[in-house]
Amino acid sequence: MIYDQARYTEGDKHEPLLSEKDTTTVEVGGTDSPLPDDLTRDDLTLPGLSEPELARHYTRLSQMNWSIDSGPYPLGSCTMKYNPKFTEDVAADPNAAIHPDRSADSAQGNLGLLYGLQEYLAAIGGMDAVTLQPPAGAAGEFTGILVAKAYHDHHDNDRSEVIIPASAHGTNFATAAMAGYDVVELTADEDGRVDLEALKAAVSEETAALMLTNPNTVGLFERDIVEIAETVHDAGGLLYYDGANLNALLGRGRPGDMGFDIMHYNVHKTFATPHGGGGPGAGPVGVVDDLAAFLPSPRIEKTDDGEFERFEPDHTIGKVHGFSGNWLVLIKAYAYIARLGDDGLADASAKAVLNANYLADQLELAVPYGPFHHEFAATAGDRDAADVAKRMLDFGVHPPTTKWPEMVPEAMLTEPTEIESKRTLDRLAEAFNNAYSDTDEAIETAPSRTTASRIDQVSAARTPRLSWQALDDE
Amino acid sequence: MTQTDGSPFAPHTDAETAAMLESIGVDTEADLFDIPAEVAFDGEFGIESRSEQEIRGELRRLFARNDDLTEFMGRGHYSHYVPSIVDHLSDRAEFLTSYTQYQPEITQGFLQALFEYQSMLVELTGLPVANCSMYDGATALAEAALLADRVRQTSGHRILVPEFLRDGKRSVLENYVDGAGLVVDAYPMDDGNVDREALVDLADEETAMIYAENPTVRGTIEEGLTEIGTIASDTEALFCLGSDLVALSLLQEPASVGADVVVGEADVLGLSTSYGMGLGIFATRDAFLRQVPGRLVGVGEDSDDRRAYTLTLQTREQHIRKERATSNICTNQAWVALRAAMHIASHGPDGLVDLAEDCVRDAAALADRVDRIAGYQAPVHDRHHFREFVVRSDQPADRVATALEAEGFAVHAIADHLLQICITETNAHATDELIAALQEAA
Amino acid sequence: MSFDVPDAFRYLESHEWTTTDDPARIGITDFAQDELGDVVFVELPAVGDEIEAGSAFGVVESIKAVSDLYAPISGEVTAVNEDLFDQPELVNDDPFGDGWMLEVEPSDDAFDDLLSAEAYREQIT
Ligand SMILES: Cc1ncc(COP(=O)(O)O)c(C=O)c1O
């Protein structure tokens, strides 16, 4: 398979910037202004283009962009699945487009959706109570750790540490630090899982929580999870589940049944809401009963006569988003879960795991750790994983996540998800293998069929130019 | 489409599944799972799969349970008309279904759009560095406070915020800064603007950041920004200004009044009313570049010496700096930023300034009409207003709001006898009816 | 691959070097710059600041990594290589020369606990 990405080229640049197509300055203030001049700006300079010109600009930009609808996007840990189109239509319902300060009486539809999604997520995760407010996974982590902190504080139990496996996602570390905790890093055992002895040595009365994703970042299930939970609980700590990898477990394992006290769900991964080029997502947080009183406010409950009400949990931490989180995303997540139902969700995980195992089996690259589930970390060995990835771009596939986690040298963390057919996986494997076995020169100079050829990251970082104004100054 | 036993979005036929299992060397899918029996789940969620058509019907009926009210609401979440071009172009799957631009060579389109968005913010704020999004205005404010804490040379752990601030915004701020040991204190307002004399007294060497809004949450336009900027710099506190994209198009340029950081709601363009979904502005001075939270798109060259865009200065971010990152943010609001940029572009500078001027004119005109109804005084604050204003009602505000709801209108009741009313081009057609309903409820 | 390790300098296990002059010059080793890759940013203390042996005094960044810089010796900073702010690549091109970072007024016996060139060479091979 050969792929050529669209490329509109004018001299030393591609599609010109809006500002290069037009720059118009308008004076602000003056006699017609409704405000005195000292309360207004002097002028405003922005592109002033017609609708047809804008339609072309953005259509061209879209053509210079890869997406899950373009082809495989097997970024490990990112769970790039197909985003069902009908969820867009559901979210676009004008009746759902209401102001967040509306009275509960006049917003029964929105509250009903939120309530329904709280319930779905609680069932899927084996949790007792759910908040939908956090606007992304990292925000969910932060919410969860704040809840843990509030819980410990409530019990006059001042704790200073959060334990995190070395292979965890960067957000885990950053979250713990933002919440004011010291991070205790846990190295993996030889098999790539949590080292129980190391964990036992790490826990103490300072342990506020252990943050864990399961399966972990190389797709391995933490077989000792019951003992891990006991170890943390015995020390008075809480167990936090990073939901990024939930797509491996749907219908086969629930964090709540494994001893986790707090979890976030990553709906732009597991529940197929579109990732929008970086966001928005949503990171709802579920907790067990003991922690429900600390969740953000408001939560939604259903009265005996079928009405929906907002309520403030007794010891709420307050708010983690200005309003109710990423509303449109939450609608799409609800619609996706409803479409799949119990069987569909379980099948999604089964096929995600099947696809990862089948794909790994077709690869010439070694996969040091297993048995893995929905994702695996292949190693590019003595080749540079980033270069191999660049070469893959020329074959009409997006490469996996590279060089992470560090426990696998030259890692290529691969997660095909359930949406790929055998045929596509074969093609993906071929791209993988071809890139992997290509010449040094070929991989070091790749890609050549994408809109941009290899970008010099070093000069971009040494001389930051972050706006078109900065380009004009040159 | 009919109900299905499996995921409708997994394409495997039984034969393919069998072939794949055989190639792997296992008998069943279940054999691929390494979950100890003691924690395996074999229960049911009780979620019944519905067809696409059924779900659309179900949710249409559910959302129809929202009362059909004409909203005159604001207080941080606003309704501006979003032209169709924004929906159609931002909904192109190449944008909507793409991931963060970890492979810039193949995602130049989105990167360029985000670079253009950053550039528009640079123009609107006058500050040279703008990131490509925060979750919303509240979290952007909170991140600004954390930045103030990091860049501060001397001790100081107080964040000063206006007495009038959305509860939610203040709560988010407090939650974010708690771990850094900062405390949030309020300074009083004077007839809807910052009480600058009180602020001078409150601001001291313990103050890390002074936050002010323009317009304020009560819709007043702040008249003392330059002085507030001076108070901040005199105490070596950062001056953080909250605003929104439409207001920025008209009101004093933040850089010109000494703002060090600009935060606020960028979702006023691009999203319209969406139950509070947001897009946070974050812009700052060059000196703080290395302390900026979130993603930045920069320009570089590709190996053909052509201009190319890429995420840059990523060592600030969690995936590299871990617990020492400038923020834990990863997934942001990129697609909303794309929409906001499209919306700005579709207005152009003339259209934006016109829109913003209407926000001033229409608010003044509506306040005037409300004021003429017996039983109401508006605006309560003797200031210029942007989009919204506070009304004093002789009747309890709750009762008025409920009565209005029965007539098909939603307004804010913000205190015992205070209402707040917001007008934009999306509800302006209904002002006569609103006035009539207010009369009725007086 | 073999790395430069000037004999006259002293070293830290964390790959910083210092001269034994007064003022002493401080930088990172050839090995360190190679491990880091292209340096894009260097953050250094200001003239007049005190640095303390074994403690972090600054940061060096490549695109994909951030490293703390540890002080081989204690003392007051008397000069900072400002060229690095515009040309961080000097750290890669000439780590023991134009890529120097600080000059520090050393206290007495400042150099006693540091690695010799020979010992450092052993560490990196
Ligand atoms: C394992 C893991 N944890 C947390 C996150 C953070 O989630 P988000 O990007 O939604 O903030 C991610 C996302 O990439 C992840 O892969």
Tens-place pLDDT, residues B27-71: 999 999 999 999 999 999 999 999 999 999 999 999 999 999 999
Q: Is C40 in the A-facing interface, judged by CB distances under 8 Å?
A: yes
Asked whether the beta carbons of residue B290 and residue C63 sit closer than 8 angstroms, the reply is: no
What number does the ligand 1 atom closest to the CA of A139 have?
A: 11
What number does the ligand 1 atom closest to the CA of A141 have?
A: 4
In a domain, C122, yes or no: no
In a domain, A382, yes or no: no
Which residues of chain B are at the C interface, by a Cβ-Cβ cutoff of 8 Å?
Answer: 290, 314-315, 320-321, 324
Give me ligand 1 centre to Cα B144, in Å: 22
CA distance A109 to A31: 47
CA distance A194 to A224: 8
Question: Could you read off the pLDDT tens digit of each residue along chain A, which spans 474 residues?
Answer: 778 999 999 899 999 999 999 999 999 999 899 999 999 999 999 999 999 999 999 999 999 999 999 999 999 999 999 999 999 999 999 999 999 999 999 999 999 999 999 999 999 999 999 999 999 999 999 999 999 999 999 999 999 999 999 999 999 999 999 999 999 999 999 999 999 999 999 999 999 999 999 999 999 999 999 999 999 999 999 999 999 999 999 999 999 999 999 999 999 999 999 999 999 999 999 999 999 999 999 999 999 999 999 999 999 999 999 999 999 999 999 999 999 999 999 999 999 999 999 999 999 999 999 999 999 999 999 999 999 999 999 999 999 999 999 999 999 999 999 999 999 999 999 999 999 999 999 999 999 999 999 999 999 999 999 999 999 876
How far B257 CA lies from chain C's nearest CA (Å)?
29
CA distance B177 to A98: 30
In a domain, A60, yes or no: no
- Going B76 to B78 to B82 to B87, the CA torsion angle's sign is positive
Cβ A216 vs Cβ A222: under 8 Å:
yes
Q: What is the mean pLDDT of residues B198-204?
A: 97
A78 within ligand 1 shell (Cβ under 6 A): yes
**Count of domains observed in chain C:** 1
Q: Report residue B148 as tokens.
A: 């103030």
Asked whether the beta carbons of residue B290 and residue C66 sit closer than 8 angstroms, the reply is: no
Tokens 């972990």: give the residue: A216
> Tell me: the pLDDT tens digits for C60-71?
999 888 999 999
pLDDT(B265) > 80: yes
In a domain, A226, yes or no: yes
Q: Is A457 in the C-facing interface, judged by CB distances under 8 Å?
A: yes
Give residue B155's pLDDT band: very low, low, confident or very high (50, 70, 90).
confident
DSSP assignment string, C1-55: ------TT-EE-TTSEEE-SSSSEEEEE-HHHHHHH-SEEEEE---TT-EE-TTS
Helix (H) or strand (E) holding B247: helix B245-248
CATH of the domain at A266: 3.40.640.10
- Going B346 to B350 to B355 to B359, the CA torsion angle's sign is positive
**What are the extents of the domains in chain B?**
14-63, 70-82+348-441, 84-341
How far C80 CA lies from chain A's nearest CA (Å)?
19
Q: What is the mean pLDDT of residues B172-195?
A: 98
CA distance B438 to B2: 50
In a domain, C121, yes or no: no
pLDDT for res C113 = 87
Domain that holds residue C75: 11-116
In a domain, A264, yes or no: yes
Protein residue with least CA distance to atom 7, ligand 1: A137
In a domain, A65, yes or no: no
CATH of the domain at C39: 2.40.50.100
Q: Is B272 in the A-facing interface, judged by CB distances under 8 Å?
A: yes
Residue from B42, B9, B13, B317 nearest A270 by CA: B9
A171 within ligand 1 shell (Cβ under 6 A): yes
In a domain, A53, yes or no: no
* C window 77-96, beta carbon within 8 A of A: 88-89
Helices H, strands E: what count in chain B?
Answer: 14, 17
In a domain, A229, yes or no: yes
Q: What is the mean pLDDT of residues C35-53?
A: 94
In B188-319, at which residue ranges do the beta strands (DSSP E only) sit? 189-190, 193-194, 207-213, 238-244, 261-265, 280-284, 297-301, 307-311
Protein residue with least CA distance to atom 12, ligand 1: A244
Q: For residue A152, which amino acid is it? A: H
Give residue B154's pLDDT band: very low, low, confident or very high (50, 70, 90).
confident
Asked whether the beta carbons of residue C65 and residue B321 sit closer than 8 angstroms, the reply is: no
Q: Is C38 in the A-facing interface, judged by CB distances under 8 Å?
A: yes
Asked whether the beta carbons of residue C64 and residue B321 sit closer than 8 angstroms, the reply is: no
A81 against C125, higher pLDDT: A81
In a domain, A225, yes or no: yes
pLDDT for res B153 = 76
pLDDT for res B35 = 97
How far B322 CA lies from chain C's nearest CA (Å)?
10
Give residue C46's pLDDT band: very low, low, confident or very high (50, 70, 90).
very high
B175 within ligand 1 shell (Cβ under 6 A): no
Contacts of B315 in chain C (CB under 8 A): 41, 61-66
What number does the ligand 1 atom closest to the CA of B329 have?
A: 11
pLDDT for res B1 = 38
> Tell me: the pLDDT tens digits for B369-396?
999 999 999 999 999 999 999 999 999 9
**Count of domains observed in chain A:** 1
Site to probe by mutation for ligand 1, drawn from A80, A141, A164, A169 as the one with most ligand atoms within 8 Å of Cβ, is A169
Looking at CATH, the fold of the domain delimited by B70-82+348-441 is given as Aspartate Aminotransferase, domain 1 (3.90.1150)
pLDDT for res B3 = 41
Give the nearest chain A residue to B48 (CA atoms). A341
pLDDT for res C1 = 63
Give me ligand 1 centre to Cα A182, in Å: 20
What interface predicted TM-score (ipTM) does this complex get?
0.98
CA distance C63 to A404: 15
pLDDT(B401) > 70: yes
Does domain B84-341 fall into CATH 3.30.450.20?
no
Domain that holds residue A128: 86-339
